Every structure is written in structure tokens, then in C-alpha cells.
Amino acid sequence: MTLGGYIYRNALRNKRRAVLTSGSVAVSLFLFLTLQVAKREMTIPPEDAGASLRIAVRNKISLANTLPARQLPAIEKLPGVVAVMPFTYFGGKFKDDDSLGFAQFAVDPGKFRQLFGEAKIPAEQFEAWRTTRDACIVGRDTAKRYGLKVGDRVTLIGTIYPVDLELKIAGIYGGTIDDTNMWFHHVYLDEAMGNWGRVGMWWMRAENAEVVPGLLTRINALFANTSSEVRAETERAFQMSFVSMWGNISFLINSICSVVVFTLALVTASTMSMTVRERFRELAILKAVGFRRHQIVACLLAESFLLASAGAVVGVGGAAWLFGSGAVKGLTGGIFPSFELTVRIASMAVLIAFVLGVFAIILPARAVTRMSVVDGLRAVD
Amino acid sequence: MAAADPIVAIRDLTKVYRQGEIDVTALDAVSLDIASGEFLALMGPSGSGKSTLLHIIAGIDRATSGECSVQGVDVARLNESELADWRNRNVGFVFQTFNLIPVLTAAENVELPLLLTGLVAAERREMVAAALDLVGLGDRARHLPRQLSGGQEQRVAIARALVTDPQLVVADEPTGNLDSRAAHDVLEILASLASRGGKTVIMVTHDPKAASFGNRSLHLEKGRLAES
């Protein structure tokens, strides 16, 4: 027999309690991970390869205010600009779908590849989209969700704009971090709106990362003191400003996580206290036969670690498996396109488990170190 | 009460417990010598101080005043860690309620004190087997405590007390939870430890029959000693 074997058998002495304790750690850590990954997705959306070169130009007043289409040539002329594309969120309703559905954007297909080159789509389908005014392309996940295929005709009922759009699916794309969107011609929206002459915002691509800061300054200056002042910002800054509309989501989620961890700490501490209290006489015997205080505390700590670690393996492993399988993307209707469990977040959960292992044993260990052999024997006898 | 070759020498040993506002004297200036190889029975009514005396001799309790020397070592001068090491090497414990670890087999329970000695696994196994053979339980080594009778459990506890080959074995009411047959077996083992093994055995008991197995009986009354 080794001390390790002794600790292992003690940990599993009351199997039901051990399973419930480890289970509560696992479930709580899983919840913690889910919340932290969701927070990360909401506050730091995943970026693709071209994100560092993309610039968003929106109305300075708010994202809801549109911009005049006549700004395009002025932006295109700026040195360091590779491509500029109109970008308008249509926000239409598809069929009788009452869910969040999917996002639809009016863009310029001729510039699309330069701006969002990550999308994988067969060349003939892309070409069909580019050359057909009422055509659109749909993300693979949305096509799968609604059973859409190339050649189908769909109607989007306008909820923001007072027009309905009849669109023909020319292609289905994939390979982006969010394969749920629908893209269609901006000129088609413009026509439907009676030559509206406005765009939601501009997306542009810079030559390289070095010119980006200068471009931001020049674009903002270009339309300063006009009726449509703009705010140019990097894709990351744009995403963060978008996120700010959620309110202080980080504080909310961190508060919930704190409550979860605190509750878990109380549960594990209570369990370990019970475990030690039931074994006071045995621990007194260990002392009597020569075990020192720190050796006994080390055994209890190892036992506590073992239970917490088992919970961490199940909780973190389960989360890694579930999040990695892409199930969350399906369960949330694509709201969280990647739901990636990062090493940093997983490490936080493992660290919490270890801290719990220590915290749970503090009070019982204190009682054991203070207990004399005689008191330990009297406690039960 | 001087012994020719005392392994335990006690002088003016006093133990006072504080219970709330009241001081309770458990031992009152007890002086006593116990010879090596002696089987001493400590008797007396409940609260007479016999278990307290046993605990102080075994180094699991401390006296308020006086001296208690075991094998020439004044146990009162040892700190907690030194005392733990000393107990591991020099004292074997047998309790009324056996106190075996329920998740460990008989052999593993016996092996427990040896985990602190630095012996390799093969040496430990050998010593465990010898200790279990000595109490007649060599064939029950792999049994869990719940698979043993009360008498067998107490014999495993005796094997655990002997496995480190201590000179001193202390037994606190070792037959208190046993039927007469099992009690007889346990007492015979303890007696043979002293007569054949040369161990010094100190046993606390209420039972005159059990005390008759010893070489000497001492009575404690209200913390004071009266030899019989």
C-alpha cells in the first residue's frame, strides 16, 4: 500500500458523496466556462485573417443613421485604399420565422471578394450572383437550417425598410467564422427603395496595416463639417462599439460566475468538513501511530484535490467536447458562431478547481491540527 | 513501587483539566515504575484517571506537572513532531473500539505505521505478514474490517500495534467490546507479548478477570494510586 492508494480509497469511501461532490464541481465549472466563453464571444468577437486591414466607416451620430452613397468616390480616391463597398443591414423577416433568423446585407458583389475573401463559394455560383441583380448568396448554416438550395427563390419582408425583396439564391458559401448571413446586391435594394441614394455604412480594405491609422484620420477629416460626418474605425473597434450596445455584459456575467464559484466553494467546504468530522477518530489514530499534523493535512488536501480535479476533468472536458462539436452554434441558432473554449478560459476553470480544493480543506485542516489525539478519540467514543 | 529495570518511571505526575470554571484533578502526584517485560493492569472506576495515566505514558497527552520518563526519554520535553516520531518507534496502541480504517484491508491497516518508516514495500510486507501471523490472522490479510469478527478486528489492531516492534504496548479497555471467548484470546496474546516477546504491556481495564492476565495490577482512585 502507498499513501497515494490510501488517499484514493478515502476519496471514494462514500461513493455517492464523492460522485455528487465531483459532479457539483463539474456542473459549476461547465456553467462557468459556458458563461465565460459566451462573454468572450459577445465582447471579443472572433476575427478572421483580413480583419486587421478592414475599416468600417459609419455615420458619426449612430449606426442607425445612414450615409449618402455619393461619399464613395471620395473615399476610393484616398491613397492606401484597395476597395470600398457599401454595406447595409436589411433586417428582413424570412417566411413565418419568429426566431432571430439570419442577417441579410446589401453589398457590392464586385468588391465582396476583396473585403471578405474568406468565404468559400464555387466560382460559377459567385459569378452567377455577381451578374444577376436580384441574386443572393446564403451561408451554409442558414441554407441547412431552412433547407434552401441554389435556384430557390426567397422573399424577405422588410422590417426596417418599407420594401419586400424577392431574391434568387445563386450560391451557398462556407468557410467563414459565421456562415449564417445572406448577401445581395446593394443596387437591388437601392432600386427597390426608389433610387434611395443612401447606404448603411462603408466597409473598406487598406493596402497594409501600416496605412490604417492614417486612413482613419483622413476619412474622418474628409467628411468633417458635412451633413454626414463619419466615424472610421478598425474592425475591432467597430465590433467593440457594437458590443457596447449590450450594456455592461461583462459585469453581469462576471457577477453570475462569482456567485457560481462562491456557492461551489461553500458546497465543497461543507462536504470536506463533513468528511473530516466523520473521520475524527481515525485521524486521531493516525496521529497516535506517528503521523504528523502536516502529513495528515497533506492527505486531506490531496483527497480534496482529487475530488475537485475529477470535477474539473469532467466539467472542462465536457465543455471542450461540447463546444468543439459545434453543438452550441446549432443550439443558439448561430448567435455564437464559433464558441471557442480558449486555453486561457479553460485554465481559469482548472485554477478555480485547484483553489476550491485548497479552500474546502482550510477549516477541516484547522480543526485537525488543533485536535489532540485524546480529544479525537473522545469525539466518537 | 520501584522496579528493578524500569522502562517507565513516573514521579509526582499530576494532570488537572479545566472544565469551565472548575479545575478537575485527574491524576494527583502519581509516582510509579514499570519494569521492562511487565504486563501491568491499571484498574479503577470511571473517572479515576487510569486512561489519563495511560495516555500520558504513551505520549498522546501531557501532564500538568511531574515527570514521565519512558526508556529514559522525558516525553514532556518532546515537541509535537518529535513526539509523533517517538510514538511511531516506541509505542503500540490498542483501543477498545479497534479503530481500524474501514477502507483498508487487515494487512493495509497493519502496514499503516510502517508507511512512516522509510522501509521499502517488500520489507513492509514481510513485517506485516509476521505481525498478522503472530496474532493468528495470516489467512485474513486481504479481508476488510467489516469482513472480520470483533475479536479478529482487535487482533488486527494488536498486529498494527506490534508491527513497528515497539518496546511499549498500551491497551485501553482492549476487551471492552468483545465476548468472553474473543476477550480471552486477546488477553492471551497480550500476556504472551510480555512473557515471550519481552514487551512491556500496560492495559487499562475494569474487568478483574482481564487484570488477572497481568503480572501486576494497580488501582487508581480519584487520581491516586493504590497497588493491589
* Contact present, A3 and B115 (Cβ < 8 Å): yes
**Chain B residue closest to A3 (CA)?**
B115
Taking only the tens place, the pLDDT of each residue in B137-176 is 999 999 999 999 999 999 999 999 999 999 999 999 998 8
So what's the pLDDT on residue A161?
92
| DSSP codes, chain B | ---SSEEEEEEEEEEEEEETTEEEEEEEEEEEEEETT-EEEEE-STTSSHHHHHHHHHTSS--SEEEEEETTEEGGGS-HHHHHHHHHHHEEEEETT----TTS-HHHHHHGGGGGTT--HHHHHHHHHHHHHHTT-GGGTT--GGGS-HHHHHHHHHHHHHTT--SEEEEESTTTTS-HHHHHHHHHHHHHHHHTT--EEEEE-S-HHHHTTSSEEEEEETTEEEE-
Q: Report how far apart, in Å, the C-alpha atoms of B139 and of each of A1, B133, B143 are.
A: 18, 8, 9
CB A169 within 8 A of CB A149: yes
Q: What residues of A are in contact with residue B98 (Cβ under 8 Å)?
A: none
Q: Which residues of A touch B97 (CB under 8 A)?
A: 281, 380-381
Out of B101, B108, B116, closest to residue A290 by CB: B116
Say which of B55, B84, B111 has its CB closest to residue A291.
B84
Optimal mutation site among B57, B86, B95, interface A, most CBs of chain A within 10 A: B95
Span between the terminal Cα atoms of chain A, in Å: 28
Q: Does A291 lie at the interface with B, CB-CB under 8 angstroms?
A: yes
Residue B144, amino acid: L
The whole-number pLDDT of residue B1 equals 46
A12, A285, A286, A295: best to mutate for the B interface, most B CBs within 10 A: A285
Cβ–Cβ < 8 Å for A204, A55: yes
Q: What are phi and psi of A180, to 5 degrees?
A: -120, -10
Task: Tell me how close the Cα of A375 comes to any Cα of chain B, in angstroms.
Answer: 10
Interchain CB distance below 8 Å, B115 and A285:
no
Contact A287 B89 (CB under 8 A): no
Closest C-alpha among A378, A118, A152, A2 to residue A10: A2
The three grid cell numbers given for residue B220, joined into one nine-digit string? 487508581
The separation between CA A107 and the C-alpha centre of its own chain, rounded to angstroms, equals 26
Residues in chain B closer than 8 A to A373 (CB atoms):
55, 60-61
Provide the H-helix boundaries in A138-248.
Answer: 140-146, 186-192, 212-222, 235-243
How far apart are the C-alpha atoms of A14 and A87, rounded to whole Å? 62
| Contacting residues of A for B104, CB less than 8 Å apart | 1, 6, 9
Between β-strands A81-89 and A104-107, what pairing exists: parallel, antiparallel or unpaired?
antiparallel
CB contact under 8 A, B84 and A381: no
Helix axes A235-243, A15-43, angle to 10 degrees: 120
Distance CA A222, CA A231 (A): 11
Contacts of A296 (CB under 8 A, 6+ apart): A283, A286, A287, A368
Torsions phi, psi of B49, nearest 5? 105, 5
Instruction: Tell me the pLDDT of chain A (381 aa) as tens digits.
Output: 888 888 999 889 889 999 999 999 999 999 999 999 988 887 766 566 577 789 999 999 988 899 999 999 999 999 999 999 999 999 888 877 766 678 999 999 999 988 888 889 999 999 999 999 999 999 998 998 889 999 999 999 998 999 999 999 999 999 887 888 999 999 999 999 998 899 999 999 999 888 999 999 999 999 999 999 999 998 878 877 767 766 677 888 889 999 999 998 998 889 889 888 888 888 999 999 999 999 999 999 999 999 999 999 999 999 999 998 877 776 776 667 678 899 999 999 999 999 999 999 998 899 888 888 888 887 654
ipTM: 0.88
